[in-house]
Structure 1
Amino acid sequence: MLKNIVLLLLIFAIFGVTALIAPTFASGYNLDIMARWTGLYGIMAIGAAFVIIAGGIDLSMGSMVALVGVQFGILINDQQMNPYAAMVIVLVGAMLIGLGYGLLITKLKLQPFVVTLCGLLVLRSVARYLAHDDKISNFVTPDGGTDIAYLTSADFLWIPLPLWMLLILGVLSALVLNKTTFGRYLKALGNNEQAARYSGINTDWITIAAYMVCSLMAGISAILFAIDLNSVGPNEAGTFYELYAIAAAVLGGCSLRGGTGSIVGVILGTAILRELYQAIETLQVSELEGTVIGIVILAGVIADEIIRRVVDARRRKQEAAAASG
């Protein structure tokens, strides 16, 4: 809770300082962009959080965005499929990819880093092959006359649809993580896989489920990105998006060691990253984008290490006091 309050205060601090330097930062246009893209990236960050809490990592989320976006565009534009039917098909495909990751990691005992790094390369390559290296633009409904960009362009109560989607999925994810047996098992797996297995938890299927959730969230983000931009290019779509997702999760309190994480923190971490990005664009120092992401990830890892050492030291002190007493 304390960390979430700190993140919230940091959001206001960044906003206030940037608005003082560049008043246009507080314009309605900028606020709408930040809200919309916080929603788009935040959904993917929630998926990353599930895998990180389980003690894994997924480096292929950006390529997943490209592949699902390309598939979605092909089904709508070339196959003239109903957009909602196309969404179901591509999301099922994304979950099957997550299933494949989970099986390779649990049954063949491959390292998540290696499996998802290969996925990063393979998925991007398949997306390029399917799209023939061309950008797919101007998504239309089967009648060929209606642009479907309205699906994300509409606001409800002045809040963009992607942000509403993030809030809804965030609530559902928080309930799953904190109020269900699966959520408890997921944290137990991340804390100590061997102990979780000895306690009777089917750690293999928990791991598989985590990667399927991550792939599903990446797929949902891909659809929203494609519709929001009304185009998807296999080469540029999703590039480095996995870094944003991982950085948001780490900044929001997910330990790269596994076992801990907060959905509220992940959403706040995403908001901070998008706010920083928008601040960089407003101040016209876009060359520093990579620097900011790198510093955020490093700061999150350093904070995690410091907290771990403090907790370990406190536990040892309590154990020593109990033994002496």
Structure 2
Amino acid sequence: MQKKDLGLAVLIIVVGAIVYLRNPLFLSPINLGNTANLIGLFGLFAIGQGFVIMTGGIDLSVGSVIALLGVLFVDMVGKLGVPWPVAVAVIIALGALMGLAHGLLITRFKMQPFVVTLCGLLIYRGVARGYTAEATAGFPFGASFPQLEWLTIGRSFGMPHSFIAMVLVAVVMWLVLHRSVFGRHLYAVGKNEEAARFSGIKTGFVITSAYVICSVLAAIAAIYFAMFTKSVQPSSHGNFYELYAIAAAVLGGFSLRGGEGSIVGVVLGAVLLQELQNLVNLLGIPSSLNFAVMGTVILLGVLADQQFAAYRARKRAAQALERLQFEEGHAHERA
């Protein structure tokens, strides 16, 4: 575990202890189960956002992707009678196409990630609202899909399946990012895209793949959210989720400059954010302050990242100077 991840884990324990002392219900089985479920739901797409941030980009369309694909999933399964495995495959495929479109616009047409995904945010939200004519998309009254419900909102060994799904995704993405050639290329592109290109790395493919991964994980999250809420209001469903994903990634050590971060870190970031949300609820703090808490977390995370980067730069410069002085002194002695 990296030092950042270890520090974040300690912070989670400290915050949890403080909340428990203020309200012992924090460690009640019901609260822990609900919190774990939310960690799984939000952690899924936060991991995808981490891949995009690793490239030095950003995806602002995550919330709108979840809203649009959630509407389509509910409609296919609930109204059109499409078998749920087929509907799941279609939603994931649509997510992959969205990510592919983002990646190609950024790499082939040299558009800024902020502009591309901001337009995606507006387009997908608008399509969702137009498709439903501003109505709420929901499953028919009394409709039941036992296998799908067990997969998404069921529990095994006392753990919500959304949390288990996030853990499985995190393990796979950890292997991809930290133990594969693609992962090394992703780090290289994030550090210096031009240098990576000159070294023979297909930077366009790497960046596009990151956006595909992000949108596919958002599509999976859309399915879980749709089953969790049982209905999707296209004008509000998924609002500001992209900020949550960015906050979790930044807290987890992903640098907005690119080239830094770990999967363990972003998962811990998702845990800390849900712990803070839990703190707001259990301590009776007005829910209207949720966004203030999230904004403060992002600000402190970016500030800490910048200060840490400046400290490392000063440390490297001091070490380089010491080596130079040592070499000069050694050369003088030989002379």
Alignment of 1:71-82 (within 5 A): 71-82=72-83
Q: Distance in 2 between matches of 1:12 and 1:175?
A: 26
Q: Deviations over 1:207-253 (max 9, x none)?
A: 10000000001111111010111111111110000010000000001
TM-score (norm 1): 0.96
Alignment root-mean-square deviation, CA: 1.5
- AA paired with 1:250? V
Q: Could you tell me which residue of structure 1 aligns to residue 100 of structure 2?
A: 99
Letter in 2 for 1:175: L
CA deviation profile, 1:28-47 (whole Å, cap 9, x unmatched): 21111110000000011000
1:89 maps to 90
Q: Distance in 1 between matches of 2:303 and 2:99?
A: 29
Q: Per the alignment, in what secondary structure is the counterpart of residue 172 of structure 1?
A: helix
Write the distance in 2 (CA, Å) between the matches of 1:125 and 1:214: 21
Work out the CA distance in 2 between the residues paired with 1:145 and 1:319: 66
Following the alignment from structure 1 to structure 2, what is the Cα–Cα distance between the partners of residues 14 and 196? 40
Q: How much does 1:139 deviate?
A: 6.2
Q: Distance in 1 between matches of 2:256 and 2:76?
A: 37
User: Where does 1:266-277 land on structure 2 (aligned, <5 Å)?
Assistant: 266-277=266-277
Bigger Rg, which one: 2
Aligned to 2:289: 288
The Cα shift of 1:287 comes to 2.4
- SS of aligned partner of 1:59: coil
Task: Tell me, in whole angstroms, the C-alpha distance in 1 between the residues paired with 2:10 and 2:323.
Answer: 38
CA distances 1:146-183 after superposition (whole Å, capped 9, x unpaired): 46434333211111100000100000000000111110
| Corresponding residue for residue 323 of structure 1 | 324
Native 8 Å contact 1:128 1:235 kept in 2: yes
SS of corresponding position for 2:111? coil
Match of 1:61 in 2: 62
What is the aligned partner in structure 1 of residue 112 from structure 2? Answer: 111
Q: Report SS of the residue matched to 1:149.
A: helix
Q: 1:140 Cα shift? A: 8.6
Shift of 1:322: 3.3
Q: 1:25 Cα deviation (Å)?
A: 2.3
**Bigger shift: residues 298-307 or 60-69:** 298-307
- Listed as ranges, the gaps of 5+ residues in structure 1 are none
* Mapping of residues 137-156 of structure 1, within 5 Å: 137-138=138-139, 145-146=144-145, 148-156=148-156
**Aligned position for 2:36:** 35
Q: Aligned pair in 2 of structure 1 residues 243, 159: CA closer, same or farther (>3 Å)?
A: same
Residue 45 of structure 1: aligned partner: 46
Whole-angstrom distance in 2 between the partners of 1:145 and 1:15: 37
Q: Which residue identity lines up with residue 191 of structure 2 in the other structure?
A: N
State the percentage of identical aligned residues: 43
- How far did residue 145 of structure 1 move? 4.9
Structure 1's 22 and 123: CA in aligned 2 closer, same or farther, altered over 3 A?
same
**Deviations 1:231-284 (CA, angstroms, capped at 9, x unpaired):** 111111100000100000000010000001110010011001001101101122
Alpha-carbon separation, structure 2, partners of 1:237 and 1:19: 31
> For the Cα contact (< 8 Å) 2:153–2:224, is it kept in 1?
no
CA contact (8 A) 1:77 1:140 kept: no
**Where does structure 2 lack aligned partners over 5 or more consecutive residues?**
328-335
| Paired residue secondary structure (2:128) | helix
1:242 maps to amino acid: E
Q: Which amino acid aligns with 1:297?
A: I
